[in-house]
A and B are shown apart, each in its own frame.
Chain A
Amino acid sequence: MDVAPYAVVVPLIAAGLMTGFATRLNRAIAEVVALGAAVFVVVVCAILLARVASGTQVYWFGGWEPRAGLAIGVSFTVDAFGAGLATLCAVLMVAALVLMSRYRDTDAPHFQTLMLLFLAGMVGFCLSGDLFNMFVFFELMSVAAFALAGYKIDEDEAVEGSLNFAVTNTIGSFLILTGIALVYGRTGALNLAQIAGALSHGPHDGLVIVAFCLLAAGFFVKAAVVPFHFWLADAYAVAPTPVCLLFAGAMSELGIYAVGRIWFGGFADALAAHADGLRAVLIGAGCLTALLGAVMCALQDHVKRLLAFATIAYVGVFLIGLGLLTSDGIAGAAIYIVADGLGKAALFAAAGIVQHRRRSVSLRRLRTFGPGLPYTAIVWVIGALSFAALPPFGTFFAKSLLEDGLSKEGYGWAIAVLIVTSALTTGATLRAGGAIFLGWGRGGPPPASEEESAPEEEGPPARVPAVMLIPAGLLALGALAVGLVPALVEAFEGAAAQFVDGASHAAVVLRGADAPPIEPASPYSAPLSAYLYSAVTLVGSLAVAAIGLFGAEVRGPAVARLRSGMRAAVQPLRVVHSGHVGDYVAWLVAGVALLGASFAIALQ
């Protein structure tokens, strides 16, 4: 039986019913329905994931199967990464809904309805094998996300953050649609497999490159690649914390996944001669994103903005992995997405608990509470160490695969970027942990906007409720456990080899060929250098955390000069994150121009 459509249909129907009976539903019923639908999606996605081990699954809506190699209908093309990402989205959604049950929510069932629409959009996007359907699900997910980000509509930040998010991302989707129109104009096809066939026959001219550039730019807006990233910190800082779990753990990653799927499923054969140029552009953009995200992460006082910039930093890391354009790089990025997604979700869940107990997300204020919240602290430290990519975290193997790939492709210098990114984000997160849970560092006056980041939860903060702590703990354990699954790396390498094989994908989709099963790669063991690099990362992150916490105690003219020099160096970075939607769109346009120019130079 084909179960794939139910993963999208059931949450949509549940959302529709809840809207229809909105006036008669109380909060408890809405929560149970939403949670039930989300658990159902987890089960369906897990079934899909188990099935794709024996090969890519294709489902044609309405039974409109392709005739003579022409796709007439619309397909779900489920491969291992699509099913895996959909499972991740659904699991995070369950965690977010459980956490949400402790939040003040006077507006049930609208919140649950939006969450289910968001889930349906994300899952449909992961499974679609058709460019236009990807766009439609992408828009469904985006609109739900705009509404969720601006959910606390009585706060200034929420309104402005959501506006910035909605305007920039909508322009991003227009870029995608323009790209789709150009591709359709050239190939007459919307199914990725058929696009690949048509493009490989036609001329490989500027039009194809412009179309790919527009598609990539549009998805990079969602992924928040520099300089398209400005909206992200605003949106994540204002969204309700459980929603941030999904934003950081899954939504940004979908943009990177989409670029990979479109490249390998559609364009790779046609533009194969330009792969080296594309590799340089993507790895360059990835390094820039990783470094900028990591530096901004280290500068933040607001806990959720700190985690938001860490998200940007890791989007850069994923982009480096994708940019390698080899199956090893893809496997590394995929393991990173799963392990780091769970780690970030655990951190956001812990941040939610801190906000619940302390009514604040400002480090300067949180520091004044002194030591406390030991269990949350453990979750926080596990999440932070997952950033450091220490063994046995899943991120360790991911980073080691990326390092192998980078040195193999002649980008050995980018390993330094990975280490600096890990060290800065881990250091910043540990510094925040030291301030929140131990009260370390020097306190300052809380920021003026403190009153507005006020409580979003219900109930007196008596003690940490188990329904908040258990999901947070499970997410953290998940981040740790990913690295302990036997033969994990080999399975991901096998899935990646299938992901990059556009020819067999086309044969399965269009000609109904038997899908080749995923073959696990030869056993992988991390080289000694990977352990060395993670030791360097750990030392670096402890240093960053120590400087962040106790740097202010050190006095002396040289230190003062260094401090003012650093402040002057990072000031421009703070200034460009202006919160002004016009500025963000100007950066977006400049980014498209830059991406187009670098494609024109690199892919000529």
Chain B
Amino acid sequence: MSFLPYAVAAWLMVVGLYGIVTSRNLVHLIVCLTVVQSSTYVLLLAIGYRSGGTAPIFADIPTSRRVVDPIVATLTLTDVVVEATVAALLLVLAVQAHRRFGTLDPNEMGALRG
């Protein structure tokens, strides 16, 4: 079992968070959020991966065949759906923020203080 996917997942999470913290543009920030999210996909799929495994559809393969874990694939799919909603909502808010503040830079907003 390779450590590479786990390292990739950790790396994606860290760079995504770094991007969010330093972002000067809301659209960039939302893309960084989806980068953090892809780290969870990589992690989930890495956990379910079996060397030499195939897709877990037993219609045309013998049940003795080694397959990857279908549960993590469904978790990933659910996650994709859920986070697509979040991203859509955030982009709406970004559009509205641009309308209200005339900028997408979080540094230049600031209706909320202390």
A287: chain B residues at CB < 8 Å are none
- CB pair B72–A585 under 8 Å, yes or no, is no
- CB pair A580–B78 under 8 Å, yes or no, is no
List B69-97 residues whose CB lies under 8 Å from chain A.
71-72, 75, 78-79, 82-83, 85-86, 89-90, 93-94, 96-97
Using a Cβ cutoff of 8 Å, how many contacts connect chains A and B?
A: 128
**Shortest distance from the beta carbon of B34 to any chain A beta carbon, whole Å:** 10
Interface residue from A154, A155, A163, A583 paired with B90 (Cβ < 8 Å): A163
B114 contacts partner chain A, Cβ-Cβ < 8 Å: yes
Chain B: number of interface residues, binned into ranges? 35 or more
- CB pair B33–A579 under 8 Å, yes or no, is no
Q: Which of A96-104, A396-404, A570-578 contacts B (4 or more CB under 8 A)?
A: A570-578
- CB pair B109–A579 under 8 Å, yes or no, is yes
A132 contacts partner chain B, Cβ-Cβ < 8 Å: yes
CA distance A573 to B114 in the complex (A): 8
- CB pair A452–B89 under 8 Å, yes or no, is no
Max count, chain A CB within 10 A of own CB: residue among B90, B109, B111: B111
- CB pair B82–A139 under 8 Å, yes or no, is yes
A136: chain B residues at CB < 8 Å are 78, 82
Interface residue from B17, B100, B110 paired with A579 (Cβ < 8 Å): B110
A450 contacts partner chain B, Cβ-Cβ < 8 Å: no
A299: chain B residues at CB < 8 Å are 114
Q: From DSSP, what is the main secondary structure of chain A's interface residues?
A: helix
**Shortest distance from the beta carbon of A178 to any chain B beta carbon, whole Å:** 6
CA distance A234 to B113 in the complex (A): 9
Per-position binary interface string of chain B over residues 43-83, scored 1 when its CB falls under 8 Å from any chain A CB and 0 otherwise = 11001000000000000000000000001100100110011
Interface residue from A159, A178, A589 paired with B39 (Cβ < 8 Å): A178
Closest to B78 in A: A136
Q: From DSSP, what is the main secondary structure of chain B's interface residues?
A: helix
Interface residue from B17, B86, B100, B106 paired with A580 (Cβ < 8 Å): B106
B94: chain A residues at CB < 8 Å are 163
- CB pair B40–A160 under 8 Å, yes or no, is no
Closest to B37 in A: A174
B11 contacts partner chain A, Cβ-Cβ < 8 Å: no
With A171-B33, A184-B71: A146-B111 Cβ-Cβ less than 8 Å? no
With A153-B96, A178-B40, A582-B22: A171-B17 Cβ-Cβ less than 8 Å? yes
A170 contacts partner chain B, Cβ-Cβ < 8 Å: yes
B26: chain A residues at CB < 8 Å are 163
- CB pair A160–B13 under 8 Å, yes or no, is no
- CB pair A166–B89 under 8 Å, yes or no, is yes
With A162-B93, A181-B72: A586-B21 Cβ-Cβ less than 8 Å? yes
- CB pair A177–B111 under 8 Å, yes or no, is no
CA distance A292 to B3 in the complex (A): 41
**Shortest distance from the beta carbon of A36 to any chain B beta carbon, whole Å:** 26
A159: chain B residues at CB < 8 Å are 93, 96-97, 100-101
Interface residue from A167, A177, A178, A589 paired with B29 (Cβ < 8 Å): A167
B39: chain A residues at CB < 8 Å are 174, 178
